[in-house]
Amino acid sequence: MKKKLLSILLCGAMIGTMMTACGNNGAPGSNESSPQSEAGNSEADNSEEDNSGEQGGEEAPAEVTPEALPEAFAHYTFDGEDEGYTLVKQDNKAEDSINDGGTYDIVPSDAAPIYADGAVGKALYMDSTYGVDLNLEPTNTDVYTVSFWVNARFFFNFGPTLQIGYNIGRAADAGNNVTWINVTQTTWGADNAALYPTIWSRNEASDAQDGTDCWPWMSGWDDSAHGKQEWAMITIVCSGQKQDGPTGTTTVGAQYYLNGQLMYDSNENYTNHTYWEEWTWDASLAPNVMQPGDSEFESYFGINYWDPLYVGYVDDLYVYDQALTAGQVLSLYQLGDPSVAMEYPNAADGAGAEEPADPVAVDHSSVEITGTLVGAQDCSTAFWTEFSDVVAVPSGESVTVNFKNYSSQLENWNNFVVILQNVADVHSADDNADYKEYAVVRADNFGWGAGYENIATAECDWNWDTFKTDIDGADVELTITNNGDSADIEAKVTSAAGTTYTQSYKGIAVDGDLYYCLTVDGSFIDIQ
């Protein structure tokens, strides 16, 4: 098979990172990172492939024969019957909420469900005012299959369709057994093309019995959003086969099918590099998503703890406690009719009636720079491309820097980023083999790095409802302290309106010289 040309833009810090608990951060929500480095084969590599027997540059798929289906572990028809699922909505977090990694709590909804003819019998329509708690039980194994029909009026980036796992709304750094699969749309395709489904999964090692910690994701890498105003059947098969990924993490093998056809097989790529040779991240599934955890298993469709709710239909959702074969997946697809035309009812009070317009970055062209500029004033600077000077922080001392922070206001992470490292000049191990990042921490209370893994505390008092506007144009007083074997980062942030907030990361492990610098992501700073 000719290898697929892969041009994937990675964002912010992705795999193997640690989430911090404070307000609007945590899972694949509105302040979550996306990948931002290129992976894949060059065109030269592709041109040298043997294309014999291929049509249109791709090998014709092997013929698949339908096979008998096993008994399902769970099946939701969404035909209007009592199948154990309940309607839920987002609500402001309660004072005693355990969802320390989420923005909202998820609570029961008294909405009336909306049903219409779907791909298989009736389908459930979600109008942006409610989602579904499936009340699903875990299969208690790393071998399983999930499949569902989707017909979205539109998708939100990182917005919810199916999300299942343990402690989904919890902050991973609090020692919680956080695991999940999130089937969502991202813009991780070539030239930021929208991808649905992107199958993003998580296993936090803090309490994982096998010591794994990973953030793998996979897709068809075809730069398409399937299931948008059309019926599409998404099937994810977890084979449970252990895979030791190139980033040093342990994942499990998986296959992704679209409309009964295999789109990606991590086992095949793991063994033969069928899809690309430059294997730079773990394109498979996280382990333990369906295995017993230390909290109640959660299962939702159309809702999560962070993002706007789903708008569209869902139909026949299956869970199997075994890995379906290609023939069985095809049989499942043949039970449905994707040609069924759908109408999209108006949401209650007009909510969700129109597709949201693409957000526009705030214009900062008139801002007068009075110090040292880092980043472009149109907020076009990509993550990890521009840096301030690197400054030493001697043991037992503190260093303070003052700057103004300007944001695109598009995402919570489009603000300043602090880097703690062990060398004085470079920002990559490619430039210096001794280079180490103790920590990289963002303004939206998210971080990662070798010294960040056992951080003592990460706290902030942001008002997440006004965070994007509060931090745009804010004055920041940033202090980095070298305690010898640990480092602290403290920020005093004063909004343009005069409201003061504080943020701190304390107890970051340090085992050598300490230097800091600043970088930006879709933002810029004016260092005084």
User: Contact at 8 Å (CB) between 195 and 185?
Assistant: yes
What is the predicted pLDDT for the residue at 277? 74
Q: Which of these ranges, 131-140, 277-286, 437-446, has the smallest mean pLDDT? A: 277-286
Q: Averaged over 140-165, what is the pLDDT?
A: 94
Q: What is the CATH number of domain 43-347?
A: 2.60.120.200
- Count of positions (residues) in the chain: 528
Residue with tokens 């009812």: 345
For residue 264, give every residue at least 6 positions away whose Cβ sits within 8 Å of its Cβ, in sequence order, or none.
Answer: 218, 219, 220, 221, 255, 256, 275, 283
Instruction: State the Cα torsion 83-308-442-426 to the nearest 10°.
Output: 90
Q: What is the CATH number of domain 372-527?
A: 2.60.120
Domain boundaries, the chain: 43-347, 372-527
What is the predicted pLDDT for the residue at 173? 64
pLDDT at residue 281 is higher than 80: no
CA distance 170 to 207: 13
* Element spanning 45, H or E: helix 43-47
What is the predicted pLDDT for the residue at 470? 95
pLDDT at residue 26 is higher than 70: no
pLDDT at residue 280 is higher than 80: no
* Residue % of the chain over a pLDDT of 70: 83
What is the predicted pLDDT for the residue at 456? 82
List pLDDT tens digits, range 475-505. Answer: 999 999 999 999 999 999 999 999 999 999 9
Give, in order, the Cα–Cα distances in Å from 345 to each of 116, 155, 156, 387: 10, 16, 18, 49
Of the candidates 315, 302, 298, 409, the one whose C-alpha atom is nearest the C-alpha of residue 347 is 302
Q: Averaged over 75-79, what is the pLDDT?
A: 97
pLDDT at residue 57 is higher than 60: no
No. of helices (H) and no. of strands (E), the chain = 4, 30
What is the predicted pLDDT for the residue at 335? 97
Residue 28 pLDDT level (bands cut at 50, 70, 90): very low
Of the candidates 180, 174, 206, the one whose C-alpha atom is nearest the C-alpha of residue 297 is 180
pLDDT at residue 39 is higher than 70: no
What is the predicted pLDDT for the residue at 205? 55
pLDDT at residue 441 is higher than 70: yes
CA distance 234 to 256: 8
Do the bridges between strand 86-92 and strand 250-258 make them parallel or antiparallel, or are there none, so unpaired?
unpaired
Q: Which of these ranges, 146-150, 267-271, 487-491, has the smallest mean pLDDT? A: 267-271
Residue 455 pLDDT level (bands cut at 50, 70, 90): confident
pLDDT at residue 351 is higher than 70: no
Q: Which of these ranges, 122-131, 287-296, 360-369, 416-425, has the smallest mean pLDDT? A: 287-296
User: Contact at 8 Å (CB) between 305 and 27?
Assistant: yes
Give residue 244's identity as a one-letter amino acid code. D
Same topology, domains 43-347 and 372-527? Answer is yes
Q: Is 247 helix (H, G, I), strand (E, B) or coil?
A: coil
List pLDDT tens digits, range 302-321. Answer: 999 998 899 999 999 999 99
Q: Which of these ranges, 26-40, 250-264, 382-396, 488-502, has the smallest mean pLDDT? A: 26-40
pLDDT at residue 34 is higher than 50: no
CA distance 176 to 434: 32
Burial class (CB in 10 A: 0-12, 13-18, 19+), 102: buried
> How far from each other are the two terminal CA atoms of the chain, in whole angstroms?
56
- Whole-number average pLDDT of the chain: 84
State the pTM of this model.
0.69
Longest dimension (CA), the chain: 71
Lookup: tokens for 37: 């480095």
Report the side by side order of strands in the sheet with 217-218: 104-108, 86-92, 131-133, 297-301, 162-166, 179-186, 195-203, 217-218
Rg from Cα positions in the chain: 23
User: Contact at 8 Å (CB) between 218 and 199?
Assistant: yes
